[in-house]
Each structure stands twice: as C-alpha cells, then as structure tokens.
Homo-oligomer: A and B are copies of this chain.
Amino acid sequence: VTDSFRVSGSSPGRTLRVAILGFGTVGSAVARRLSHPDRAPGIALTHVFDRRAAQKRRSLPTAAPVLWTSDVDEVLHGDADVVVEALGGLEPAAGWVRGALLAGKSVVTANKQIVARHGQALWTLAARQGRQLRFEAAVGGAMPIVRALGEGLAGDRLTRVVAILNGTTNAVLSRMDAARCTLVQALAEARACGYAEADPSADIDGTDAAAKLSILCALAFGLRVDPREIARRSGEWIEPDDFDRARRRGGTIRQLACAAFDARRRALTAWVAPVVVPRESLFGRTTGAQNAALVTGERSGEIGMFGAGAGGDATAVAVVSDLVAIARDPAAIVPPPGLTTSFTVDPAEFAFVPSDAAVAEAV
C-alpha cells in the first residue's frame, strides 16, 4: 500500500457519495436517514440498487437527485465513494462487495453472513485497495459491540464473550415467558411486530447468532472460526413447561451465544443454545428484541452492553455511524484483523450458565 493510494479518492471536506444495495428493511431505513433534513453533514445518498427499483423509488421522498437502478453495474461502476450492502445472504452480496472494493469503493455492510464466512478475504482485499470495510451493523444492532471489541477493549486480552445476539429469538422467548404461550404463538406475534421474517428458522436454530459469534471471535480473540463449526442447539422444541421449570428455579430461558478462549491452551469453547439464566441477571432482564453482551477481559473485568438488537432504525444507526467514520477520515487504515486458525475447539457444555457477576452482585 503506497501513501499516494491512501490519499486518493474522497478527502475530508468533500461530500461522501453513498450507494445502497437493497431497499429492504435496513436499506430503506438508511436511505430515509440519509434523506432526512437532520441527516449527518457531508454524506449524500446518490444511488439505490434494488431489483424492484421502479416500484420502490416512490417510497423515498427526496429532493436530492438519486439514481435508482435495477442494474447493479450502474452502482459498482458508478461514482459513489461508498457502497452500503443491505442485501443479506451470501450471494450475490459477497461478490458485489468484492466488486465494489475492486472498483475502489469503501463498503459498509450489515451482512453477518458474508463477514463471518468471507471476512478475512474481504478485509485483506479492502486493505490492499486502501479502502475500508466496516460492519458495525452486522452484530448487535444499535449496540456498538464491534467497535467495543475491536477498538475500545483492544488494549486488553479478552477471555470471554457471552451475549444475546438474535433479537427475534429473544423477542419470542421473552414472549413465551410473559404470556406462557407456545413458540408458534410467540413467533406469530413477533412476525406481526416486524421482528421475525417469514422463515425464522435461522434465528431459532442459532445459525444467525453463530455467524455473529464467529465475527466476535475474530475481533475479541483474533481467531478465524467457521460459523458452521460453532456448536448449536435449536430452540424449536422449547415448550411452556420448560419455562415453568426455569421459573421455579428463579430463572428464565434465553438463547445465549458464548465464546471463551483459553490463550495458554489455545482452546476455544463456542456455542449457541437456549439456556436457563437467572431472571435478575443482565440476560434474564433483556426482553423483547433487545441484544446484550457481557465481555470479560483479563484487566478490565466484566464490561456489559445492551440495546436494540433488531429493527431497521437501530441497524441504520450502526450503518450511518460507519458512514460518518468514513466521511471523517476517508483514508483511514482499518487493518485486517490478523486471524489465526491454530487453536483447538473444546466440546460445548450447554448447561453452562454465565456467572454474570457484574450485574448479579447487587441482587
């Protein structure tokens, strides 16, 4: 990477031109945010790609000229500085992100699947291109956990991350608890509230949280973990009876994602499963579509976070925060995490209940 390359492209003071790929829940929320009178200065929405661009363009009232297209090449070879990938799924999203970086654009993505599966290749490509790949929106919704692990706690050696990373499943489980209803009933309600997709199986079975946990393992421990290797137990069989049993023990049931790394043994434990947690713990108190995380560092002790984990507006905050970071320093170096695959995986113990000391202390 030469320095002349770093200073090419946009520079501070110039308006950052933003293209959005995909005008679904997240893409449209970002577009509304960028078209709002109260938008961040120095950032302009210039392109929207959507397969149904012709129909959807009417839903975004904006005075500024935006190019709507259903031809992705008009975006990838257009004059936007940054591409926001809000398509979801592995392909064509991963290929288009690669194409945007190759065309010299920075990329902001909300897509946990492509970061979990292709993160290292894409980070390396971005660094080689002197461009940025940012993904705060891929994990934790509006809760800024990507920056917390990758930057704010970079000065510590982290040993454990326990978190609620799937807002849909959390809304369903806390609804089952509150209403003593079945999973099917709770899911129907979550769908009505816009928290669940038509097919929520990737939420309930832990696939979604495992992809996010894989990203957190890269940030927290420097490990390259294939999300498919993370042990998972599905929540699809949970019944009202299970909640009754948990309740009698002073607990409730939450889908937790847990990763612990023993640096001396170089051994990782990583799993996603519904487990019983104390009702008064951070996780027991996390209800609805919220996310929460408890991060343990050798020197920091336990650091906790919680916040809105799902919904277009919360995710759009994370996307726009990444855009603000690029607008502030278009030539910023976001070095690819130096990931290693030299570690062993210990068997998962699903019965594990986090100590949650930081919040349980006062109980």
Contact = CB atoms under 8 A, between A and B. Distances in A.
B280 A299 contact: no
Copy count, this protein chain: 2
A307 B317 contact: no
Contact of A317 (B153, B316, B324): B153
A155 B318 contact: yes
A238 interface: no
The range of chain A's interface size is: 35 or more
A305 interface: yes
Interface string A149-168: 00111111100000000000
A283 to B, nearest CB: 10
B155 A316 contact: yes
A153 B334 CA distance: 19
A106 to B, nearest CB: 14
A35 interface: no
Nearest to A314: B300
A6 B6 CA distance: 11
A7 interface: yes
B317 A151 contact: no
Interface stretch (A59-67, A181-189, A194-202, A286-294): A286-294
Interface in A219-238: none
B329 A361 contact: no
Contacts of A144: 147-148, 151-153, 303
A40 B151 CA distance: 13
B328 A152 contact: no
Contact of A328 (B142, B303, B335): B335
A33 interface: yes
Interface string A61-87: 000000000000000000000000000
A121 interface: no
B285 A297 contact: no
A89 interface: no
A221 to B, nearest CB: 13
Given A148-B148, A307-B358, 7 more contacts: A3-B11, A142-B299, A155-B317, A285-B363, A297-B317, A329-B335, A331-B333
